[in-house]
Structure 1
Amino acid sequence: MKANQTYLNGKSVFTVSLIVIVITILTVYFTGINYNRSLTSNFYISLSIISTALFVFMSYGLYKGVILKDDFPKFKSFKTGDIIPDSGTIPDLPSIDLDLDDELGAGILLSIVLWIVMTILFLILLVLLEAVFWVSIFIILAMLYWIFFRALKLVFAKSKDTIEDLGNSMLYAIGYTALYTGWIFGIVYISQILK
């Protein structure tokens, strides 16, 4: 008789994945301080740690019969006008005719006003660029979550067949680990050959 399957939240899986990535980066950094390793060696070490963690996690999940629940918030798609205004809604800027030849005092006053206006404009642009940066980070994290969730959901779809069967769980886990990380090993190997 098969045991009951366990439900795991997608957010938890994504959080664990980010923790594994941070631990991998820190491990490679701190173990490489006293050694002069190449970038390729660091890639191999990082990928080996991530592959091992992925294999162990998938083996355990398949053995326990884990099923992923999609608890990621739904996002509406962006339309023109939500964040990026339509081209028709951007007002035309007035043209400024600068005549600085009349008096020195007017030129200094105008340069101070322009300096203040440009400072305000640069502050606005910095705020907008920071907002774009954070939106980009959020979109990248959402895409990573979707990739992790979809990939692991495919793996754990087999959990009803592998529950409490360690050999079968490990066989599926090694296959999916090779599939999900093997191509990255291949890219690093090919780039090393092409040097």
Structure 2
Amino acid sequence: MLLVILSVWISGKNSHQTLFQNSILSTSILAIAFFLFVSISLYRGVGLRDNLGKILTKENFNKRMRSTSDFTPNIDVPSIGADGIGGVILSVLAWIAFTVAVLFALYFVGVFFWSVLLLLLAILYWIYFRALRLIFKNSKRCKDNLVKSLGFGLFYSVLYISWIYGVIFLIKYIH
């Protein structure tokens, strides 16, 4: 990410480029970096092991969902109309109760968003791990063989980056 940000900033410092040009430049830099990473790793014979284990299982997910639903408050609000000092006191108490209720709501919304974020990270981990494992299972055949390493690196780089170019060009020509 730092490589892309820095190169786009340096290349666009004295010229104003369109979003399409910046997208193509960024994707090209990522494609070159990915190609070099894959080719060098295959040439060196890098392997990939799953030592993290299962991040989220069905049992853990169900247990977490039950634990958050146990804390839902059961509030019964009476209808009271009051004037004068009683109304002021009732308003202050209602304000405090509402603040506590909002704090609980924010807590549960935060738990929900953290759960969704962790689930998305687990999904991304699985996708990237599976993709890289598919690439690096060829590392035994490519070790110390530059031609095979560059061939597999080019194949997988085109395979994994071409869809991004497709989306960029599709957006450009639909727009």
Distance 1:88 1:131 in 2: 11
The answer to whether residue 45 in structure 2 is matched with residue 59 in structure 1 is no
Question: Which of 50, 55, 74 matches 1:93?
Answer: 74
Higher strand share: 1
**2:46 touches 2:136 (CA, 8 Å); kept in 1?**
yes
Higher helix share: 2
What's the counterpart of residue 106 of structure 1? 86
What's the counterpart of residue 18 of structure 1? none
**Per-residue CA distance 1:44-74 (angstroms, 9 max, x = gap):** 1221111111100111111111111112242
Moved more, 56-65 or 67-76: 67-76
So what's the TM-score if we normalise by structure 2? 0.84
Task: Describe the shift of the 1:126–1:37 C-alpha distance in structure 2 as closer, same or farther (beyond 3 A).
Answer: farther
Aligned letter for 1:187? V
Task: Describe the shift of the 1:124–1:178 C-alpha distance in structure 2 as closer, same or farther (beyond 3 A).
Answer: same
Task: Describe the shift of the 1:96–1:30 C-alpha distance in structure 2 as closer, same or farther (beyond 3 A).
Answer: farther
Distance 1:126 1:138 in 2: 18
The answer to whether residue 28 in structure 2 is matched with residue 48 in structure 1 is yes
Mark the runs of 5 or more structure 2 residues left unpaired by the alignment.
none
The Cα shift of 1:153 comes to 0.9
**Per-residue CA distance 1:93-134 (angstroms, 9 max, x = gap):** 34322221x432222111111111111122222233333333
Task: Describe the shift of the 1:91–1:179 C-alpha distance in structure 2 as closer, same or farther (beyond 3 A).
Answer: closer
Aligned residues: 174
Q: Which consecutive aligned stretches of 4+ in structure 1 deviate over 6 angstroms post-superposition?
A: none
So what's the TM-score if we normalise by structure 1? 0.76
Moved more, 176-185 or 30-39: 30-39
Task: Describe the shift of the 1:87–1:54 C-alpha distance in structure 2 as closer, same or farther (beyond 3 A).
Answer: closer
The Cα shift of 1:140 comes to 2.3
How does 1:1-195 map onto structure 2 within 5 Å? 21-29=1-9, 31-32=11-12, 34-79=14-59, 82-85=63-66, 89=70, 93-100=74-81, 102-195=82-175
Distance 1:127 1:110 in 2: 26
- Percent of residue pairs identical: 30
